[in-house]
Amino acid sequence: MQQDPRPSPASASARATSRVLVLLAHPDLRHSRVNRRLLSACESARAPLLERGVTLDLRDLYTLYPDYAIDVATEQAAAGRADWIVWMHPIQWYAMPALMKLWLDEVLTVGWAYGRRGGEGRALEGKDLWLVASTGASEASYHPGGYNRHFFDAFLPPYEQTAALCGMRFLPPLVLHGARAATAAELDDHVRVFADRLLTHPHWPELADLATCDACDVPDTDRPAPRQEVDRAS
Ligand SMILES: Cc1cc2nc3c(=O)[nH]c(=O)nc-3n(C[C@H](O)[C@H](O)[C@H](O)COP(=O)(O)O)c2cc1C
């Protein structure tokens, strides 16, 4: 009998050398047009990624934590073992949905995600962070002359600086504007670009000159106080 030349998922998984973590945060996925398609693109990319030696971890935050009770240890373990991380969500009120923000608040702790240079807090250093977002508003509206009054990039510094604080390289985001008005062909194109990026990272032409980011040095005076200190002081 002829052998199937393709690697079996089990043998490919044993050879996997890198890992991508996709964190999806959509509060109402059943009614999603864009992010639901991106989610299935992730599922479809799983096997081809594995053949390239990449394991995909997909964490759908609103399904995992409908009560917002994030399991911090599990999330830190997932983020810590990933080589690169994708944040995938619709833009809500010019920012990330609430549970994605809570993920940052609770998972990116001092001494784990950030801290003193050369000290502890290096868990994410050297990883890439890729934002994949969608907006309801058109690209034209994100303009000084449009009703959103700013270019879309003006809403990105909190993401970029969060990455920098943790020593992560912030990759050029992939954004689909005008999610509801986008044609089926535009949506297909977006999903195709997303899947292609997922499969080809880090060999994207625009990353050739993108420098890595050194983690920022956060002095002790600027860190959150340990809980007991706050309790004693009050
Ligand atoms: C509570 C809420 C706030 C939103 N805020 C914005 C916003 O600030 N800017 C914008 O362009 N779209 C906004 N939208 C539209 C969503 O970004 C858009 O519906 C979504 O990206 C479409 O993706 P989906 O098809 O996966 O749901 C908002 C939607 C909701 C429900």
Ligand 1 contact, 91 CB (< 6 A): yes
Residue 199: closest CA among 47, 59, 35: 47
SS3 content of the chain, % helix, strand, coil (to 5): 40, 15, 45
pLDDT score of 2: 45
Residue 218's pLDDT is 82
pLDDT per position as a tens digit, 141-152: 999 999 999 999
How far is the centre of ligand 1, averaged over its atoms, from the C-alpha of 61 (Å)?
17
Give the integer Cα–Cα distance in Å for 63 and 215. Answer: 31
Alpha carbons within 13 A on the beta-carbon side of 36: 8
Q: Compute the distance between CA of residue 189 and CA of residue 38 in angstroms, rounded to an integer.
A: 11
Q: Angle at CA 203, nearest 5°, toward 84 and 205?
A: 120
pTM of the model: 0.91
Asked whether 5 and 41 are in contact (CB, 8 A), the reply is no
Ligand 1 centroid vs 134 CA: distance in angstroms? Answer: 7
Peptide bond into 202 cis (omega under 30): yes
What's the number of CA atoms in the CB half-sphere (13 Å) around residue 48? 12
pLDDT computed for residue 14 by the predictor = 55
Phi/psi for 136 (5° steps) reads -80, -35
CA nearest ligand 1 atom 4, residue: 92
User: What is the position in ligand 1's atom list of the atom closest to the CA of 95?
Assistant: 8
pLDDT value at position 82? 98
Tokens (6 digits) for 197:
């990026």
Dist. CA 113–CA 164, nearest whole Å = 11
Pocket lining: 136 vs ligand 1, CB cutoff 6 Å? yes
Mutate to test the pocket of ligand 1, among 28, 38, 134, 139 (most ligand atoms within 8 A of CB): 134
Atom in ligand 1 nearest the alpha carbon of residue 33: 25
Nearest to 205 by CA among 167, 159, 172: 172
User: Rg (Cα) of the chain, in Å, rounded?
Assistant: 19
pLDDT tens per residue across all 234 residues of the chain: 444 444 455 555 556 689 999 999 999 999 999 999 999 999 999 999 999 999 999 999 999 999 999 999 999 999 999 999 999 999 999 999 999 999 999 999 999 999 877 778 899 999 999 999 999 999 999 999 999 999 999 999 999 999 999 999 999 999 999 999 999 999 999 999 999 999 999 999 999 989 887 778 888 788 777 666 656 665
Rounded to whole angstroms, the Cα distance separating 104 from 26 reads: 15
Q: Which of 80, 75, 67 is nearest to 23 (CA)?
A: 75
Q: Which amino acid residue places its CA nearest to atom 2 of ligand 1?
A: 92
- Pocket-testing residue among 26, 88, 91, ligand 1, by greatest number of atoms within 8 A of Cβ: 91
Question: Cα–Cα distances in Å, from 222 out to 114, 161, 162, 202?
Answer: 12, 16, 15, 34
